[in-house]
Structure 1
Amino acid sequence: MTVQVSNRAKGLMMVITGAALWGLSGIAAQVLFQEKQITAQWLVVVRMMMAGSALLLFAVCKWMTIFSIWRDGKSIVRLLLFGLIGMLGVQYTYFASIATGNAAIATLLQYLAPVYVVLYDIVAKRHRPAKEVMLAVILALLGTFLLITNGSTGELKVPLASVGWGILSGIALAFYTLSSAQMLKKWDSIIIVGWGMVIGGGGMCLVFPPFPLPEAVRWDEETWLLILFVVVFGTLFAFLLFVESIRYLSPAESSVLSSVEPLSSIIASIAFLHVPFSLFQAIGAVCVIATVFLLSSKKEKQLSQPT
């Protein structure tokens, strides 16, 4: 007896699996940084170059013309900015936040990106924010406060460096989102992200070449397996699953369901790395995740309105 899976169910499984893999890759990176002495710079270069090249190869296998974008003057400038500032900025600041703190907090701080995008939109278009937006901003601020202080103003529960890198990661992700918007109208997301990773990784190579391999690192079997997981499952497969899910779900639904990423990171941090996560921090995490639901719900309403 064969069980038929609906297209919607396929989309749900894809986006949840992809988001969970993204979250778990942060945990793998934390182990590499704190137990194997891998540096954030080295992992960023390897992750971006390998995953970016694999995405472009995947695009070629799907008969996409990956070099056409380089014959469009405006797209070249946008692609270079996207790769060197957006993509590289997101990757490095996120990993730096993990290296100086932990994956759960780093992921949640990066998850504030939709709030930055909305605030930029309000300032750029000079319009009065809706009630849902104001509530989302308040929840984001409250959530961030609880995450880094555990409800006490006396001391930070998260290293200041990790908080700073995490906030920069959210801002970089906001830039990443905004800078890719125009290109996505003309080019496939696999091509944009693939080239963005190669460009960003190539730029990073000039400053932090990955070879020869760092001598201080414990190059055992576990180290290589964790690197493979970050590159293949936590980057390549995660992105492809998320992109494919949009064929069966609306972009707003995919955005909301991607909240599995910080949840999986939190659960794995507690279960495998024994990272303490208090009640107030849990409330803060709920506040941050709730902002995505609010903002995605508002976007869905706007998209459904007749024009």
Structure 2
Amino acid sequence: MNTSKRRMGLFYVITGATCWGIGGTVAKKLFQDDQVDVNWLVTIRLLTAGILLLMLQLFRKNRSQVIEVWKNKESAGQLLIFGLFGMLAVQYTYMASIQHGNAAVATLLQYLSPVIVIIYSVLRKRTVLTKQDIITVLLALAGCFFLLTNGSISQLSVPEIAVVWGVLSGFAAAFYTLYAVGLLNKFDSLVVVGWAMIIGGFALSFIHPPWQMDFKSLTAEAYVYILFVTIFGTMIAFWFFIKSLQSLSPKETSLLGSLEPLSAVVTTVVWLKEPFGFFQWGGAFCIIGITLILALNKEPSMQSEKSILKIGE
């Protein structure tokens, strides 16, 4: 594979995961200081970010893809499935797990997705797990655990329903990563992510209408935060994550997504002035270790894996 293309893939997934984590911290401040409803924020940011991505595509060479994706019944069906069971499912199951439990458990369970992606790819390829697969998965799970709990098991005590939603979010995240590959072979990442966000946001608006909000109660600072969450925490985060699949394998992209809790914790410590414990430092080094391992691996089996993971076709 072209080395420069792989480097760009690493840049996209690292930037996307980091933006997603920082966006989570900004959203947390909105929830605490401005009492912004979680479900309303998810709906409005999906719809707004999706529209902005499609508008951006209209200024590119392949602008006709915005409409072409709906002209073919197969690709239109794939896009609907991706929007509802990928984009929306990732958002809703994760938020539901937080609502019934807490953010630490929800994030930890969502990061079962790299394990699911690797197991799926191994079964489809009929190959054995490599040592690197095992090491990186263990680092991802340990890193997320220490970052989010600081080594305290007591923080993982939540109702069973929160665990169920959390496990479902892990499967949804894995499906989101795997299913996108088939669509990316046909259409630009802007088109795929943009329409998926609009589909997910539109479906969720029936449950949480975006217009049911007291906009006058929001401060100017709150609007800036909402804009940041929409542009960087949603639009760029999801776009770059999906775009990285054009240069990296699904398992690499999924594993590097563990940079999200690292960036969330770091920004929480620096910006919200929360303490950073000893075990959290250990978790940070675990996540950094994953990044170094994958960055130094110059010959991934991306092309062979990518050709097999077209589960949307």
TM-score normalised by length of structure 1: 0.77
**Counterpart check, 1:32 vs 2:16:** no
The 2-side partners of 1:200 and 1:118 are apart by 26
1:251 is matched with which residue: 244, 248, 270?
A: 248
Q: Are the equivalent residues in 1 in contact too, given 2:19–2:233 (CA < 8 A)? A: yes
The alignment partner of 1:251 has SS state of: coil
Could you say which residue in structure 1 is the equivalent of 2:307? none
Shift in Å, 1:229: 1.0
Q: How does 1:1-307 map to 2 (within 5 A)?
A: 18-63=16-61, 64-65=63-64, 66-95=66-95, 101=102, 110=110, 112-147=112-147, 149-153=149-153, 155-156=154-155, 168-214=168-214, 218-238=217-237, 250-251=247-248, 255=253, 261-288=260-287, 290-291=289-290, 294=293, 300-303=299-302
Deviation at 1:14, TM superposition (A): 7.0
Partner Cα separation in structure 1 for residue 34 and residue 199 of structure 2 = 27
Distance in 1 (CA, whole Å) between partners of 2:164 and 2:19 is 25
Instruction: Kindly provide the CA deviation profile for residues 60-118 of structure 1, in whole angstroms up to 9, marking residues without a partner as x.
Output: 1224111111121221221111101100122234455666645x886676455333211
C-alpha separation in 2, matches of 1:124 and 1:78:
20
Say if 1:15 and 1:257, in contact at 8 Å, map to a contact too. Answer: yes
Give the 3 Å change call, closer, same or farther, for CA 218–171 of structure 1 in structure 2: farther
Alpha-carbon distance in structure 1 between the residues aligned to 2:292 and 2:163: 23
SS in 2 for 1:207: coil
Q: Give 1:33 deviation, angstroms.
A: 1.8
Where in structure 2 are there 5+ consecutive unaligned residues?
Answer: 305-313
Distance in 2 between residues matched to 1:120 and 1:129, nearest whole Å: 11
- Alpha-carbon contact 1:114-1:295 (below 8 Å) kept: no
Q: Could you tell me which amino acid in structure 2 is paired with residue 59 of structure 1?
A: Q
Distance change in 2, residues 1:87/1:149 (3 Å): same
Aligned-partner Cα distance in 2 for 1:224–1:164: 34
Q: Shift of residue 22 of structure 1?
A: 2.8
Quote how far apart the aligned CAs of 1:276 are: 3.6
**Match for residue 3 of structure 1?**
none
Secondary structure of the equivalent of 1:61?
Answer: coil
Q: Distance in 2 between matches of 1:122 and 1:10?
A: 25
Opposite residue 119 of structure 1, the aligned amino acid is I
Aligned residue-pair number:
296
- In 1, are the aligned partners of 2:87 and 2:197 still within 8 Å (CA)? yes
Aligned mates of 1:267, 1:170 — CA distance in 2: 23
C-alpha distance after superposition, 1:191-249 (max 9, x if no partner): 0000000000000011111123158x9522222111111112322344566778899xx
Please give the alpha-carbon distance, in whole angstroms, between the structure 2 residues aligned to 1:193 and 1:136.
27
In structure 2, the CA distance between the partners of 1:202 and 1:211, relative to structure 1 (3 Å rule), is: same
Partner amino acid for 1:224?
Answer: Y
Alpha carbons of structure 1 residues 209 and 179: separation in structure 2 relative to 1, 3 Å: same
Distance of 1:76 and 1:53 partners within structure 2: 18
Read off the aligned partner of 1:202 and give its amino acid letter: F
CA contact (8 A) 2:10 2:295 kept: no
Matches of 1:262 and 1:11 in 2, distance apart?
Answer: 20
Rounded Cα–Cα distance in structure 2 between residues aligned with 1:31 and 1:88: 23
For normalisation by structure 2, the TM-score amounts to 0.76
After superposition, the Cα gap between the structure-2 partners of 1:109 and 1:304, relative to the gap in structure 1 and judged at 3 Å, is: same
Query: What letter corresponds to residue 173 of structure 2 in structure 1?
Result: L
Percent identity over the alignment is 43
Letter in 2 for 1:207: I
